[in-house]
Amino acid sequence: MLHTISAFDRLGEENAFAVLARATALALQGRDIVNLGIGQPDFKTPQHIVEAAIKALRDGHHGYTPANGLLATREAVVRRTLTTTGVEVSPEAVMILPGGKPTMFAAILMFGEPGAEILYPDPGFPIYRSMIEFTGAEPVPVPMREENGFAFSAQETLALITPKTRLLILNSPANPTGGVTPRAEIEKLVKGLEAHPDVAILSDEIYDVMTYDGETHCSLLNFPEIRDRLIVLNGWSKTWAMTGWRMGWSIWPNGDKGAHLYDKVRKLAVNCWSCVNAPSQYAGIAAIDGPQDAVNEMMRAFDRRRKVVVEGLNALPGVSCITPKGAFYAFPNVSKTGWKAKKLASALLEDAGVALIGGPDFGILGEGYIRLSYANSEENILRALQRIEAFLGK
């Protein structure tokens, strides 16, 4: 067997992809599967965005672009950031990458090494921990508690910081819980971070516009006191239903402390992927500058489904679900069903034809929970709930 470095043996998985593969295989065998597993909008990318990519191809944009992205695309991100956060960033701090994940990868690689500690949300997006382990750094889970609406607690987060902490990963609105961390808590956290000036912050804001019930997202960009050590991850995947286009952006630190990070991520791009394909970058501009009706319509649909899914889950025996304030996930507590969460998820797929993800795939504190993505039609959500009810009633 060829020898590879041990870091690769520490890379984890995103089980949503394995569940998708299994659900697809069962469907190919003729089984009727309702898929609430994968975290991607069930809507198509709005047509004017598709047209912009086609036009770019017709206009001959077939070559490399600068590794950090086209200036026009970065300027579109600047406009979008101003609209959503009120903060003006420089296009020189904006990087265009193939999706949201590469920012995670770059930031964790920059700060992770044996002896370092990196704080990340648990339950949380599984790639954070996977990448931390890849670098050899110590992953330190920050608990996201149901009784706290699955939000960050400033006090609990700050208490986990040690002299070895290099990076703190934040995510709100959150995958897999739909938790939104309130502005007041973020303010407390930022205040507390003043005592830890060498800790960098990666704020994953990919679900920034996906909030409900009048809740608003508070971007970490709103705090100039941490701008020199803040990396913001964002992208087109969720907001404009563009998961397969592989289009993300990030905003990198300014000032003496953090401005040098930008050149490191640019070099990583040169070494790994050269650039994001040009037609997608033109499509990205159209997404930001064009009409947002389709986004608003998608959000209204998610909001309706959210209510259906939460009401339906709370009516199931042994299941309770707090109302998620953001993203498009419900994270019900199934600990009173008598099932272990992963076993339940797998039995629901195999026996009841409902694909969803067991909470432990999102961290140690995910035991006792399952994740349902309500990026599916109301009709399918109702069918899934009926099937789960019949299964649990057996």
Positions touching ligand PLP (CB under 6 A) are 39, 99-101, 125, 171, 175, 204, 206, 235, 237, 243, 248
- Around 19, how many Cα atoms within 13 Å sit in the side-chain half-sphere? 29
Nearest distance from C-beta of residue 143 to ligand PLP, angstroms: 17
- Residue among 68 and 175 whose Cβ is closer to ligand PLP: 175
Sheet holding 357-358, edge to edge: 329-330, 370-373, 357-358
Q: Is residue 127 within 8 Å of 100, Cβ to Cβ? A: no
Q: Which is nearer to ligand PLP, 124 or 258 (CB)?
A: 124
Task: Report the nearest approach of ligand PLP to the CB of residue 197 (Å).
Answer: 26
Angle CA 209–213–217, to nearest 5 = 35
- Find the shortest distance in angstroms from Cβ 107 to ligand PLP: 12
CA 188 to chain centre: 23
The dihedral through the CA atoms of 373, 379, 380, 386 has a sign that is positive
Q: How far is the CB of 99 from ligand PLP (least distance, A)?
A: 3
Q: Given the structure tokens 């959503």, which residue do they identify? A: 84
The least CB distance from residue 125 to ligand PLP, in Å, is 4
Cα–Cα distance list, 153 to 2, 9, 165 (Å): 45, 32, 17
As a whole number of angstroms, the distance between CA 280 and CA 199 comes to: 34
| Closer of 201 and 385 to ligand PLP (Cβ) | 201
Question: Which residues neighbour 151 within 8 Å (Cβ) at sequence distance 6 or greater?
Answer: 144, 172, 174, 179, 180, 181, 182, 185
How far out from the chain centre does Cα 156 lie? 22
- For the CB of residue 40, give the shortest distance to ligand PLP in the complex, in Å: 7
Helix, strand, coil percentages for the chain (3-state, nearest 5): 50, 15, 40
Q: Which C-beta is closer to ligand PLP: that of 157 or that of 243?
A: 243
Closer residue to ligand PLP (CB): 168 or 319: 168
| Choice between 171 and 254, CB closer to ligand PLP | 171
Query: Shortest Cβ distance from residue 386 to ligand PLP (Å)?
Result: 27
Cβ distance to ligand PLP smaller for residue 236 or 391? 236
Tokens for 295? 């986004």
Report the nearest approach of ligand PLP to the CB of residue 313 (Å): 20
For ligand PLP, the closer CB: 99 or 139: 99
How many whole angstroms separate alpha carbon 357 and alpha carbon 182?
Answer: 26
